[in-house]
Copies of this chain bind each other. A is one copy, B any other.
Amino acid sequence: MGRRGNLLGLAVLSYLSGRPMHPYELSRTMRDNDDARSIKFSHGSLYMVFGQLAKAGLIVEQETTREGQRPERTVYALTDAGRTELQEWMRELVADPGHEYPRFVAALSLIGALHPDEVVELLHERRRRLSARQAEIRTLIDDTVAAGTHPLFLVEEDYRLALLEADQAFTTRFIDRIDNDWGRQWAAFHHDMEERQA
């Protein structure tokens, strides 16, 4: 039952492979690196993930220190099992395009619930927002590379950009098909449905 479910765990293993840290330090590090863009992350859940990984023997408590009256900081280090797990987990993620459930897929599968005219308008709005996203990411990449970072460290943004472009192309094609082929039948079908309600 997938400890390989929570990708935050992968990030923890990866960072700890650099050097031991305590949860809060990792929390700051991830915040500074803007990792939340790529990995769902909340301060609170980090402590749970550390706990899980420790129970699974992938990390171990190294020392517990305390400064003044602040709460204790427990520093964790990666174990050999953890190093192995990190490698295998990464391999799986790269080689296997799992099966995911994007929100838009769900919406498309139920799209008949809306009237085609409205859908066309909503799709135009979608296109605008997709463009805005793309612009943001392009700026982010350009700025970061200009500041001297190797583009390899931004390859995930590159991937996101590729998906956004495909999404936009699809959206455009979908609009066209509603306008040219599907609109009329769809409107009729939708009208029938509403009738049946009353």
A residues lining the B interface (CB < 8 Å) = 7, 10-11, 14, 17-18, 35, 37-40, 86-87, 90-91, 93-98, 100-114, 118-119, 122-123, 125-126, 129-130, 133, 150-153, 155-156, 158-160, 162-167, 169-170, 174, 182, 185-186, 193, 196-197
A119 to chain B, nearest CB (A): 6
- Distance in angstroms between the alpha carbons of A160 and B108 in the assembled complex: 10
The answer to whether B122 touches A91 (Cβ under 8 A) is: yes
The answer to whether A174 touches B155 (Cβ under 8 A) is: yes
A196 cross-chain contacts in B, Cβ below 8 A: 18
22 contacts between A and B (CB under 8 A): A10-B106, A11-B110, A17-B113, A17-B197, A37-B109, A38-B105, A87-B114, A90-B114, A93-B104, A94-B107, A94-B111, A94-B123, A100-B103, A105-B159, A106-B156, A108-B155, A111-B156, A152-B186, A159-B170, A162-B167, A162-B169, A163-B167
